[in-house]
């Protein structure tokens, strides 16, 4: 199988499928040498093989692909053999494996797309006449020659997606996520690469698990072979028991190989995501969200003033955040009562919606459909709708919240009917769909239900999209705690973090966009002093940081002075001018020796233009940044480089003029990459935008 710059080669000539190669494309036809490996001393009596489905019955001593059993622990170790295979169009293949004695069948579906995206999922079916308890079902891919380091991401609330790197050693490296949602500490991807691999260099093998529930990722290296990267759902005891004839399908595992560093992985993910029929096709509108402007203090007069100010700045979508529904004066009550609060909004939301729409803006609304406060009308009427372990208790509260049991058909119908009514009765174009707590001790009728709750939430989104196809949905989860390709199958963007501190966002956004293209990632200009960190930044730095995403504002813009109004309006215009490039081009991240600086940007697919941000994130040992190279350009073309932001009228640029790149300097793409341009002396936590245009 070939796609992009990659190839995935499977040998089907033996009893079980063997992965011969996953890595760079070997050409067509590839001359393959499929030979036996030596048998080590004091080991199993057959050579090691890189099985697509590792299992103990073949001598594999690591984690097996299939773990399960029949009643009384029988059929605990399957011996699956290939019983069939067929092509799935131009870029896919399906392999069927069976174990007649254990009475199970496994179907593995593999696609290597034209963009180079490798996608795998497995379906296990119970062919027997007794139940089969499934403990885990893992999709694994092997790494290749020279794999030596592991890179993944971790974090917490307001500090999501921060990288961590370590050496690859023998043993099992394991990350488990038991949040019932993706999680603030979740890694968007797990990458294994050659020693010292960087943004633009080294071989990398990376995977992502497209599911929002509990899950596990492993990197496993035994003494007998290369490392495997595995992804699986993480089941609670008794959560998946297959009755005779029933089957279970895994979520998709997504994987990409690059011979040119992490940017090659990013390009594969971005190209594939943009190829989806469901990918947002219209220009991503400038958003204003009301949360950090008014919080829970909803007043129609203030909000009308905010709408007028938003229009003057150039906002295209106005989103009313938390506080609009019954009893919701703070976060301790009302969640789940999805009726417009008659005390605060005696005439409904119509007056605000009409005003917003009359100003040429879409109207959006915040909801949190999967959560409830116990202090709510819905739970007072239906206490049995709370999800939990049973046993006469509920899970520990989290932000005064519990989880509504969407596995319960009556609860699901209630939530769907209320959201459907809101969307039917009001001109709402956008839902900010939040989820503000971990789903600990998820249970329905006393049995574990994290898996089913996740699917029920997905179905809720799917049915609402079917009923209201023009409504867009954002996946927010107290920031970036539900960011994965499972939820993105039914949403139009994610909220990367509740932190609008531009310095924190530099890292959060860089690694979120390692696999998600910028048009899917909400990036807002926050207040002068950040709500979460109390750190103060210039408006120019906040705007430069928000530029490379789905740009928006989360700030009370009614009180801007003339200079702030001018600069923010310029940033909005700049985003509108360049969003076509930002949301279609190739992401580029330079490898700079000095960690005090970063250079990243986007290059047009035809390399006719590019937009880069040069940012100072800390103080440097050096007095000046020196020459910085611009990768990704056409080496044979000439480019004109111009600093386009901050503008000459910016308060920051007016006091900082040390070594600015002269407007209109021209050089070849090769010169710009290999020699570079002198960067200005920036104060820490400042940045500039540089546009390059082919001449």
Q: Kindly report, residue by residue over 188-212, the tens digit of the pLDDT.
A: 999 999 999 999 999 999 999 999 9
Let me know if 498 is a catalytic residue. Answer: yes
Burial of 651 (C-beta count, 10 Å sphere; 0-12/13-18/19+): middle
Beta partners for residue 551, in sequence order? 523
For the ranges 221-230, 383-392, 564-573, 665-674, the lowest mean pLDDT is seen at 221-230
At residue 308, does pLDDT exceed 80?
yes
What is the distance, to the nearest Å, from the Cα of residue 207 to the centroid of all Cα atoms in its chain?
Answer: 12
At residue 522, does pLDDT exceed 80?
yes
pLDDT at res. 651 = 75
At residue 225, does pLDDT exceed 90?
no
User: 685 with 596: CB under 8 angstroms?
Assistant: no
pLDDT at res. 395 = 96
Which tens digits make up the pLDDT trace of 362-419? 999 999 999 999 999 999 999 999 999 998 899 999 999 999 999 999 999 999 999 9
Model confidence at 43, in pLDDT bands (50, 70, 90)? confident
Q: Which of 185, 263, 321, 434 is catalytic?
A: 434
**What would you report as the CA-atom Rg of the chain, rounded to the nearest whole angstrom?**
27
Distance in angstroms (rounded) separating the CA atoms of residues 680 and 660: 5
At residue 100, does pLDDT exceed 90?
yes
Residue whose pair of structure tokens reads 């990632």 in the numeric block: 521
User: What are the residues whose beta carbons fall under 8 Å from the beta carbon of 72, sequence distance 6 or more?
Assistant: none
Which tens digits make up the pLDDT trace of 523-555? 999 999 999 999 999 999 999 999 999 999 999
Instruction: Give which of 64, 61, 93 is closest to 79, Cα–Cα.
Output: 64
List, as one string, the DSSP characters of 222-236: -TTS--EEEEEE-PP
CB-based burial, 423-445: b 16+ in 10 Å, e otherwise? beebebbbbbbbbbbbbbbbbbe
Model confidence at 653, in pLDDT bands (50, 70, 90)? low
At residue 159, does pLDDT exceed 60?
yes
User: What are the residues whose beta carbons fall under 8 Å from the beta carbon of 35, sequence distance 6 or more?
Assistant: none
User: What's the number of CA atoms in the CB half-sphere (13 Å) around residue 557?
Assistant: 30
User: 395 with 440: CB under 8 angstroms?
Assistant: yes
Looking at residue 37, what DSSP letter applies?
P
pLDDT at res. 133 = 98
Which tens digits make up the pLDDT trace of 406-446? 999 999 999 999 999 999 999 999 999 999 999 999 999 99
pLDDT at res. 75 = 96
**Number of C-beta neighbours around residue 164 at 10 A:** 11
At residue 662, does pLDDT exceed 90?
no
What is the length of the chain? 695
Distance in angstroms (rounded) separating the CA atoms of residues 620 and 622: 5
Which tens digits make up the pLDDT trace of 468-481? 999 999 999 999 99
pLDDT at res. 384 = 97
At residue 87, does pLDDT exceed 70?
yes
Looking at residue 40, what DSSP letter applies?
P
User: 532 with 521: CB under 8 angstroms?
Assistant: no
**Number of C-beta neighbours around residue 320 at 10 A:** 24
Distance in angstroms (rounded) separating the CA atoms of residues 149 and 607: 32
Output the CA angle 575-580-584, nearest 5 degrees: 125
- Where would I find the beta strands (DSSP E) of 434-563? 443-444, 447-448, 472-475, 493-495, 521-525, 550-553
**Mean pLDDT calculated for residue range 451-464:** 98
pLDDT at res. 683 = 87
pLDDT at res. 33 = 65
pLDDT at res. 66 = 98
The structure's pTM equals: 0.97
> In percent, how much of the chain has pLDDT > 90?
91
3-state secondary structure at position 96: strand
User: What's the number of CA atoms in the CB half-sphere (13 Å) around residue 134?
Assistant: 29
Output the CA torsion 472→477→482→486 (10° steps): -30
Distance in angstroms (rounded) separating the CA atoms of residues 248 and 85: 19
Distance in angstroms (rounded) separating the CA atoms of residues 116 and 135: 31
Which residue ranges form the domains of the chain, and what is each CATH number?
Answer: 2-275 (2.70.98.60), 587-694 (2.60.40.1180)
pLDDT at res. 128 = 98
User: 265 with 189: CB under 8 angstroms?
Assistant: yes
3-state secondary structure at position 538: coil
For the four alpha carbons of 256, 260, 266 and 267, in that order, the dihedral sign comes to negative
pLDDT at res. 37 = 74
pLDDT at res. 30 = 58
At residue 38, does pLDDT exceed 90?
no
Helix axes 300-313, 350-358, angle to 10 degrees: 20
What are the structure tokens assigned to 267, written together? 């390009």
Beta partners for residue 460, in sequence order? none
pLDDT at res. 657 = 52
- Which tops the pLDDT comparison, 28 or 408? 408
Model confidence at 659, in pLDDT bands (50, 70, 90)? low
Q: Verify cis geometry, omega within 30 degrees of 0, for the bond prior to 29.
A: yes
């Amino acid at each position: 199988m070939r796609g992009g710059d990659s190839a995935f080669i499977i040998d089907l000539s033996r009893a079980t499928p063997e992965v011969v190669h996953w890595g760079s494309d070997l050409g067509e036809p590839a001359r393959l040498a499929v030979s036996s490996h030596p048998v080590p001393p004091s080991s199993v009596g057959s050579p090691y093989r890189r099985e697509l489905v590792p299992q103990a019955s073949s001598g594999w001593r690591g984690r097996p692909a299939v773990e399960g059993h029949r009643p009384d622990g029988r059929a605990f170790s399957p011996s699956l053999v290939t019983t069939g295979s067929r092509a799935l169009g131009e870029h896919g293949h399906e392999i069927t494996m069976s174990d007649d004695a254990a009475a199970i069948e496994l179907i593995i579906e593999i696609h290597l797309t034209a963009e180079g995206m490798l996608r795998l999922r497995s379906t296990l079916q119970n062919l027997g006449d007794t139940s089969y308890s499934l403990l885990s079902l893992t999709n694994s891919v092997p790494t290749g020659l020279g794999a030596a380091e592991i890179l993944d991401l971790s974090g917490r609330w307001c500090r999501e997606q921060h990288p961590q790197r370590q050496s690859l050693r023998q043993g099992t490296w394991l990350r488990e996520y038991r949040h019932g949602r993706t999680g603030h500490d979740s890694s968007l991807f797990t990458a294994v690469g050659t020693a010292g691999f960087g943004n633009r260099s080294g071989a990398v093998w990376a995977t992502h698990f497209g599911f929002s529930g509990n899950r596990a990722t492993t990197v496993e290296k035994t003494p007998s072979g290369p490392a495997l990267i595995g992804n699986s759902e993480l089941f609670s005891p008794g959560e998946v028991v297959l009755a005779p004839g029933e089957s279970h399908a895994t979520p998709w595992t997504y994987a990409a190989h690059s011979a040119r560093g992490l940017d090659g992985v990013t390009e594969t993910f971005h190209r594939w995501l943009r190829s989806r029929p469901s990918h947002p096709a219209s220009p991503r509108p400038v958003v204003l969200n009301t949360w950090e402007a008014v919080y829970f203090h909803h007043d129609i007069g203030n909000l009308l003033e905010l709408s007028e100010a938003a229009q003057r700045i150039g906002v295209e979508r106005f989103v009313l955040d938390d506080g609009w529904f019954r009893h919701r004066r703070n976060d301790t009550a009302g969640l789940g009562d999805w009726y417009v609060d008659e005390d605060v909004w005696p005439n409904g939301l119509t007056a605000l919606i009409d005003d917003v729409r009359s100003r040429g803006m879409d109207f959006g609304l915040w909801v949190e459909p999967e959560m409830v406060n116990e202090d709510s009308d819905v739970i007072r009427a239906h206490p049995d709708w709370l999800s939990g372990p049973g046993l006469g208790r509920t899970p520990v509260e989290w932000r005064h919240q519990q989880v509504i049991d969407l596995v319960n058909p009556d609860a699901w119908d209630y939530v769907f009917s209320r959201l459907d009514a809101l969307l039917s009765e009001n001109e709402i174009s956008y839902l900010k769909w939040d989820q503000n707590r971990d789903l600990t001790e998820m249970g329905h009728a006393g049995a574990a239900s994290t898996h089913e709750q996740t699917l029920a939430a997905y179905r809720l989104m799917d049915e609402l999209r079917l009923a209201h196809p023009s409504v867009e949905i954002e996946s927010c989860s107290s920031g970036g705690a539900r960011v994965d390709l499972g939820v993105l199958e039914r949403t139009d963007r994610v909220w990367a973090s509740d932190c609008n501190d531009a310095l924190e966002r530099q890292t959060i956004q860089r690694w979120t966009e390692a696999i998600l293209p910028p048009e899917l990632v909400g990036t807002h200009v926050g207040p002068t002093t950040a709500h979460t960190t109390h750190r103060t930044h210039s408006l120019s730095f906040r705007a430069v940081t928000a530029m490379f995403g789905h740009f928006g504002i989360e700030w009370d813009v009614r009180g801007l002075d003339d200079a702030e109004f001018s600069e923010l309006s310029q940033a909005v215009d700049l985003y509108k001018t360049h969003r076509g490039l930002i949301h279609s081009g190739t992401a580029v991240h330079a490898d700079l020796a000095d960690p005090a600086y970063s250079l990243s940007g986007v290059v047009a697919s035809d390399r006719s233009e590019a937009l880069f941000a040069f940012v100072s994130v800390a103080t440097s040992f050096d007095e000046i940044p020196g020459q910085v190279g611009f990768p990704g350009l056409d080496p044979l073309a000439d480019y004109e480089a111009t600093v386009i932001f901050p503008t000459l009228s910016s308060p920051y640029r007016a006091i900082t003029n040390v070594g600015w790149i002269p407007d209109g300097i021209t050089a070849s793409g090769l010169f710009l990459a290999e020699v570079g341009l002198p960067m200005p002396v920036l104060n820490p936590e400042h940045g500039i935008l540089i546009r390059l245009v082919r001449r």
